[in-house]
A and B are shown apart, each in its own frame.
Chain A
């Protein structure tokens, strides 16, 4: 009891010295720090606002679209003609074209992407890997409008010379889909390769030790272990294909067309949005509202694919060590 008393007296005598000797340890309010933290939180919340904004704006305009007496949700989802001028709003031709181009894209990107991933992670020497990987990354960095140009000026003439220009129209879903596959290939291969490389070395060594060939190790041991990651890569690839705009806007043709013929032109959902909004569309017309309805459909599809692939990875990830 005596010592603090002495201190208090001392502090009265020399307050400056006392401050140096015994700092106030209580937590001081730091307004600057709290302000900064608040600002940073707002930055983080911008992403939430973006999502909410997408859902709200798309939902609001889509509701206006369905509020139009000519349009009902059932007809929208089941009718096979999209001709706003005569009041036909069936989204199936657009969805069908999207599915066709995505199907062709995945036909290219899945086998080739997985093949390239297995080659790079299991076969290639570090040196070959070092040269091949950057090339694939360049492929991934090419803007999609360039791929669209490539589809129209290279792939379409190629297809026309193979199948005959009578059967293949200038704008067709096959050409757009194939080039889209080339565009997605690096994405699939790099994600699959990450999954394959994450499999621990001990598994490979064990397989080799049992006398398996390199192929048997890769296909029967490494591939199953990395399966969740590879499937996730495929799903992300599909989602990219569905959301891709420029290639289909340039090469797949304009004008909704319900066809299963890959050599004919057909407009995809994204292509439709690009064409309608590219012209000077006036606000609050069925045309304007329809791009929001279709955009909402697109958003829902791609978002569920993304979430599904994330779940898949988390659920089925093989955990080692």
Chain B
């Protein structure tokens, strides 16, 4: 028996069997650990890029403009500085957004910094270098950029959240992208939630599953959930951007200055994308409603719709809401269909309504990531932190909702 290579496990010595078991157990454990390590590495590498030392060099030294520190100057002197250093066209361009004399000291200071001093990030370092190699960074910066100032910068800062998009990485912000994402999600929910819940009610309460058409609908929904998101993008490009351009560009509503690549097109595309997810989740929630509840309602003379509206839906609501929030968090992170539908790469004006050009947070991350310069890597990382924070809070809301409602209804 011992010479037989294909030894049945039971004939092997017990220690051998236990040894194999232990080896494999550690492999199984290791695979789980690798997954968790990957998640940690992902988060750490993003945090690593979001903070760190930067060397800032001023195009014009503040001392050459005024003897005192600029931030302590009164508004009048700041206006004086602006008028003397900038040509007339530039001043006029600035005044178009508000007269200089009417602006506050802080605003004027920002104008002086942006237009005259023009600080620029000439070198940037990651968090790990900044923490562990501080000496060598200081030495290198002092040698290479004698006029530069070394300072610790959080790329995720207040200005980054509140500024409009700008072609300079130091000054750019995600305000437009955040507003774009918000508008997009509102439109997506407005279309996907009623249609999705409606379809789920039909399939669970009305549809006779023995008929062919209803079976086809069900199988079709399951299959649609597996279609790659970029295919939805192509569909959106053909139908909403191009086919229904008159509606999605707002031409029929009197909007003239846009084409079909609008928030509305993107929102409708996204609604199609998350529809199967919402339907499947809502179906599960409706299926979990006990039959006795329906029977009681019918017994009291309720019609079918009265039963559904007054008893089935309220009972299934927490499940439906949880599924919807999960679907929305999928939509918030989805990038590919938006790129295909035609998100703008540089949007200096915030999207203002369903018919304006749009960009969204993940699209912005993609654009910044594709640039070779190091500064764009940092702002992409900062934008990722914003995106992940949004998703995390969405999921937290989903969990809280589920817990609260399930305690109430039981």
Binds A, one of B20-28, B81-89, B310-318: B20-28
Task: Please tell me if B29 contacts chain A, counting CB pairs below 8 Å.
Answer: yes
Task: Please tell me if B59 contacts chain A, counting CB pairs below 8 Å.
Answer: no
Q: A46-B275, A135-B39 are known contacts. Are A299 and B227 too (CB-CB below 8 A)? A: yes
Select the residue from B20, B45, B395 with max chain A CB neighbours within 10 A: B45
Task: Please tell me if A206 contacts chain B, counting CB pairs below 8 Å.
Answer: no
Secondary structure class of chain B's binding surface, majority of residues: helix
Residue of A nearest to B304 (CB): A33
Residue of A nearest to B395 (CB): A141
* Chain A residues closer than 8 Å to B222, beta-carbon distance: 306, 310
Could you tell me the distance in whole angstroms from the C-beta of A174 to the nearest C-beta in chain B? 16
Query: How many CB-defined contacts (below 8 Å) exist between A and B?
Result: 257
Asked whether, in the complex, the Cβ of A40 is within 8 Å of the Cβ of B391, the reply is no
* Chain B residues closer than 8 Å to A71, beta-carbon distance: none
Binds B, one of A13-21, A49-57, A82-90, A255-263: A49-57
A47-67 Cβ-contact flags toward B at 8 Å (1 or 0): 110110110011001000000
Distance of A116 Cα from B365 Cα, bound (Å): 31
Residue of B nearest to A61 (CB): B238
* Chain B residues closer than 8 Å to A50, beta-carbon distance: 224, 235, 272, 275
Task: Please tell me if B202 contacts chain A, counting CB pairs below 8 Å.
Answer: yes
Asked whether, in the complex, the Cβ of A135 is within 8 Å of the Cβ of B234, the reply is no
Q: A47-B276, A58-B234, A277-B342 are known contacts. Are A112 and B34 too (CB-CB below 8 A)? A: yes
Task: Please tell me if A320 contacts chain B, counting CB pairs below 8 Å.
Answer: no
Distance of A255 Cα from B329 Cα, bound (Å): 32
Select the residue from B29, B31, B230 with max chain A CB neighbours within 10 A: B230
Which of A40, A152, A273, A298 contacts B202, CB < 8 Å?
Answer: A40
Asked whether, in the complex, the Cβ of B235 is within 8 Å of the Cβ of A115, the reply is no
Asked whether, in the complex, the Cβ of A146 is within 8 Å of the Cβ of B387, the reply is yes
Q: A146-B384, A245-B229, A283-B242 are known contacts. Are A47 and B220 too (CB-CB below 8 A)? A: yes
Select the residue from A39, A61, A118, A119 with max chain B CB neighbours within 10 A: A119
Task: Please tell me if B74 contacts chain A, counting CB pairs below 8 Å.
Answer: no
* Chain B residues closer than 8 Å to A47, beta-carbon distance: 199, 217, 220-221, 224, 275-276, 279
Interface residues of B in 28-56 (CB under 8 A from A): 28-32, 34-36, 38-39, 41-42, 45-46, 49
Distance of A47 Cα from B221 Cα, bound (Å): 6
* Chain A residues closer than 8 Å to B49, beta-carbon distance: 153
- Residues of A within 8 Å of B, CB-based: how many? 91
Which of B272, B334, B377 contacts A143, CB < 8 Å?
Answer: B334
* Chain B residues closer than 8 Å to A132, beta-carbon distance: 32, 36
Q: A51-B224, A119-B28 are known contacts. Are A298 and B230 too (CB-CB below 8 A)? A: yes
Could you tell me the distance in whole angstroms from the C-beta of B375 to the nearest C-beta in chain A? 13
Asked whether, in the complex, the Cβ of A144 is within 8 Å of the Cβ of B233, the reply is no
Could you tell me the distance in whole angstroms from the C-beta of B386 to the nearest C-beta in chain A? 11
Asked whether, in the complex, the Cβ of A143 is within 8 Å of the Cβ of B333, the reply is yes
Task: Please tell me if B141 contacts chain A, counting CB pairs below 8 Å.
Answer: no
A selection of 21 A-B contacts at a CB cut-off of 8 Å is A30-B303, A39-B198, A47-B224, A50-B235, A51-B223, A112-B31, A119-B31, A122-B28, A136-B32, A139-B35, A145-B333, A145-B362, A146-B46, A148-B366, A243-B228, A244-B228, A273-B234, A274-B230, A277-B339, A277-B340, A302-B227
In the A-B complex, the 8 residue pairs with the smallest Cβ-Cβ separation, listed nearest first, are A243-B228, A143-B333, A115-B31, A43-B198, A119-B28, A40-B202, A245-B336, A306-B226
